Structure 1
Amino acid sequence: MHPNTNQIEMSVIIPFYNEERGLEHLFTRVLGVLDRLNLSYEVICVDDGSQDQTLKNLINYHYLYPEIKIISLSRNFGKDVALTAGLENAQGQVIIPIDADLQDPPELIEKLLQKWREGYDVVYGKRRSRQGESLVKRFTANAFYKVISKISSVSIPQDTGDFRLLDKKVVDALKTMPERTRFMKGLFAWVGFKQTYIIYDRPSRFQGTSKWNYWQLWNFALDGITSFSLIPLKVWSYLGVSVSFLSFMYGSFLIIRTLVLGIDVPGYASLMVTTLFIGGLQLITLGILGEYLGRIYEETKQRPLYLIKERHGFHMDS
């Protein structure tokens, strides 16, 4: 199907980073599903600075299938920024982000559409199982979402990714959010609107391995927590009051003991333990303040969120 640019009903957004080997299978499944829906559509492929032949192969697919459009970023900006670039260029009445690794089956798009037609503005996929992931990764992911659901003022659904359907008015709302730290799962929840979900079993990657290592996942968790909660800052005020109270009580005890029993030689060990404990708390506090301050610094620079190197298939392009 070759859609009219001004009458696109569905936009599918796929971020790519070094996915050259899986393109044929990906497009076979995605285009097969979209053609069966009898809707005008576009597939926006965002190349996030791939180092292999992903971009070259995407361009070849664009010439074969004009509904495939390409945005090539000038370097690797990260998946959430690449997804943002796709959202800002999507023209459909409904927009569906999906991963290139096919862990989110494109065959579920029809179920997402059914929920949208029932009147929902956001329909997200909720994972019943996560095949192909280690026990450690599943445990840390569950722990992260439990923690952030407790400390955030926004309810962020557990066991969800970026795979979801968004009504155009939801995407228009997301476009008004200029922050540089893009924790998209939190932003999807923050905008509100009428939301529901479908449940599915997430299969293993079609091929290759995840681009995320544990250090990146740790930074991802920090971005999510600092973007949607002030609890890490507030907790140190309460902890400081508690430590001060305990110090006052201990000091009062020493004074009373001295008055009753006389002066004795103070303990070196207890003094060192107390000093190291207080020093450790101060360093942790400074570290948390630094995390928030660093994000404020990034926001004040007002750099573009991303830079586009080239585009293919958009009506304003030559």
Structure 2
Amino acid sequence: QGYQVVYAQRTKRHQESWLKKLPAFLYYRILKHLADVEIPIDTGDFCLMDRCVVDVLNKMPETNRYIRGLRAWVGFKQTAIKFEREPRFAGDIQYTFAKSLALAINGLVSFSKVPLRLSTYVGLFAACVALLMACLVLYWRIFYPDSPLTGLATIIMAIFFLGAVQLVSIGILGEYIGRIYEEVKGRPLYTLSEVAGFEDKN
């Protein structure tokens, strides 16, 4: 049917504990919502690719590769073959929890800017809390000038405000680091799936 990438997509995981199923289920859904590209859920690295797809992947200079994400990023015509993963009949599982966690982090930081912006979001939230605390302090100062809570609220407000300034500053640095990271990866601006009307394809 002209598909250039065919990958397998798990529909069920037989004889796996919920301690493994639940993190995997949550990870793929979180990555789907946070990633900059549409990465199919419940898929692995094994797939069939046309030579043109392989050539594009091989030309990418980055060495820390998350194949499932890169495969989605390059585009081309893709489809999934759904299957149920049966219990392992021989050998031991090579992917420990630590390796799975490292793979998950690699996929998230390679295709999402949300981790870099997390400190900005938290900082803005802390700033809103500090603003609310300032309004409460002002209210207590006017209507309850002798309340001991006024001094405590002022200290808490100052802590939240200073924390917000620090987190937003880190977030600004994160934005610049994110730009540098994108440039260092050196991914092409576009990929060619087919060349027509030119004798020399180079």
Question: What is the alpha-carbon distance in structure 1 between the residues aligned to residue 155 and residue 90 of structure 2?
Answer: 54
Question: What is the alpha-carbon distance in structure 2 between the residues aligned to residue 293 and residue 218 of structure 1?
Answer: 26
Q: Structure 1 residues 211 and 271 mapped into 2: Cα distance closer, same or farther (>3 Å)?
A: farther
- Aligned-residue sequence identity (percent) comes to 31
Q: 177, 192, 200: which one pairs with 2:60? A: 177
Question: What is the alpha-carbon distance in structure 2 between the residues aligned to residue 142 and residue 226 of structure 1?
Answer: 18
Question: What is the alpha-carbon distance in structure 2 between the residues aligned to residue 278 and residue 160 of structure 1?
Answer: 44
Question: What is the alpha-carbon distance in structure 1 between the residues aligned to residue 6 and residue 135 of structure 2?
Answer: 60
Alignment of 1:142-181 (within 5 A): 142-181=25-64
Unaligned runs of 5+ in 1: 1-117, 300-318
What is the root-mean-square deviation of aligned Cα atoms in Å? 3.8
Shift of 1:286: 10
Shift of 1:245: 2.2
Q: 3, 16, 20: which one pairs with 1:137? A: 20
Question: What is the alpha-carbon distance in structure 1 between the residues aligned to residue 176 and residue 19 of structure 2?
Answer: 31
1:238 aligns with 2:127: no
Question: What is the alpha-carbon distance in structure 1 between the residues aligned to residue 142 and residue 67 of structure 2?
Answer: 61
TM-score, normalised relative to structure 2: 0.73
Alignment of 1:198-213 (within 5 A): 198-213=81-96
1:196 aligns with 2:79: yes
Q: Deviations over 1:26-52 (max 9, x none)?
A: xxxxxxxxxxxxxxxxxxxxxxxxxxx
Q: 232, 235, 251: which one pairs with 2:134? A: 251
Shift of 1:261: 2.3
Shift of 1:273: 7.2
SS of residue matched to 1:259? helix
Contact 1:127-1:202 within 8 A present in 2 as well: yes
TM-score, normalised relative to structure 1: 0.48
Bigger strand fraction: 1
Shift of 1:185: 0.8
Question: What is the alpha-carbon distance in structure 2 between the residues aligned to residue 133 and residue 167 of structure 1?
Answer: 33
Shift of 1:264: 3.1
Aligned to 2:9: 126
Alignment of 1:1-318 (within 5 A): 118-266=1-149
Contact 2:120-2:168 within 8 A present in 1 as well: no
SS of residue matched to 2:7? strand
Bigger helix fraction: 2
SS of residue matched to 1:175? helix
Q: Structure 1 residues 246 and 287 mapped into 2: Cα distance closer, same or farther (>3 Å)?
A: closer
Q: Structure 1 residues 214 and 285 mapped into 2: Cα distance closer, same or farther (>3 Å)?
A: farther
Contact 1:226-1:292 within 8 A present in 2 as well: no
Shift of 1:248: 1.5
Shift of 1:209: 2.0
Shift of 1:269: 7.4
Aligned residues: 183
SS of residue matched to 1:127? strand
Q: Structure 1 residues 273 and 196 mapped into 2: Cα distance closer, same or farther (>3 Å)?
A: same
Question: What is the alpha-carbon distance in structure 2 between the residues aligned to residue 193 and residue 165 of structure 1?
Answer: 13
Question: What is the alpha-carbon distance in structure 2 between the residues aligned to residue 258 and residue 122 of structure 1?
Answer: 67
Q: Structure 1 residues 133 and 157 mapped into 2: Cα distance closer, same or farther (>3 Å)?
A: same
Question: What is the alpha-carbon distance in structure 2 between the residues aligned to residue 143 and residue 153 of structure 1?
Answer: 18
